[in-house]
Amino acid sequence: MAVYFIAEIEVKNQERYRRYLEKVPKVIDQFGGRYLSQGG
């Protein structure tokens, strides 16, 4: 089953966001996910 997720976020706490970014790739990989595109 394909799922496409698009989000626009506003980071208000850089430290918490940094910790989040460190953990997310492992979770995505764990479930066989992949990035099709990333913004910056």
Calculate mean pLDDT across residues 28-35.
92
Residue 31: per-residue pLDDT: 92
Tens of pLDDT along 1-27?
A: 888 989 899 999 999 999 999 999 999
Decide if pLDDT at 40 tops 80. Answer: no
Residue type, 32: G
Residue 38: per-residue pLDDT: 83
Domain ranges of the chain: 10-34
Residue 12: per-residue pLDDT: 97
Residue 3: per-residue pLDDT: 87
Per-position DSSP letters for 1-40, written without gaps between them: -----------S-HHHHHHHHHHHHHHHHHTT---S----
